[in-house]
Amino acid sequence: MVKQTTKKASLSKKRQAANHADHHIRHRITIGVGIVIIAALVGLVLSLLVIPKINSDIRLHRINEIYSSIQLPENTYFNDATVFGDKRPYDYDSDRSTASVKTFVVAKTVNDTFAEIDAAIKAAGYTQFEEAYPGSTSKEFHYKTDRGEYIRLNVSSKLRGDAASNEILMNGKFSDEFFKIDPNAGPSRVTLKVNLDDNNE
């Protein structure tokens, strides 16, 4: 009777030890799986949120740096700005991306405004590589930085542009009087675009 009780106690201890060992192994597996899941979640957060945010901030800083390096003429009045750091491809063409844009008005003629801003862009170290739409009533030059970033300068007559909008809205066509407005007449409407990726707009 005593031997049987001792055997039962010994078997019970062995079972307890085996159960304890199994529990310990299961506990380690659970902790291991938990660590892997947490690491995967942290990696996902980093790849989806943190790293893109850092990249966007770096790009935004560079875009603002380019804008700040261009000395604008006196009598410049800011109109609108859409400046951002994230790359924004067009829905219909992923090889093209939207540029950051600043628009403003300068109380000078188109020729004078263009000459001053063109000189300021070149003084900042950027190189003009093409003239868009030669012979147009507005002036547009494209420039490139030594890092391969793009700047677009467009200058047109605000007086003439406003008259064009008004006539189209009111009459649906241009009058003979509209074509008598001097394309060089001030003030000037200026659009300055910066794109770190391409010049395909």
Q: Specify the higher pLDDT residue, 9 or 42.
A: 42
End-to-end CA distance of the chain: 96
Judged by average pLDDT, the poorest of 10-24, 43-57, 67-81 is: 10-24
CA distance 53 to 63: 15
Share of the chain above pLDDT 70, in %: 84
Contact 155, 138 (CB under 8 A): yes
Predicted confidence (pLDDT) per residue in 34-66, tens digit: 777 877 776 666 566 667 788 899 999 999 999
CA distance 116 to 133: 20
Judged by average pLDDT, the poorest of 3-12, 28-37, 131-140, 143-152 is: 3-12
pLDDT of 13 reads 66
Structure tokens belonging to residue 46: 């980093």
Label residue 186 by pLDDT band (50, 70, 90).
very high
CA distance 111 to 42: 56
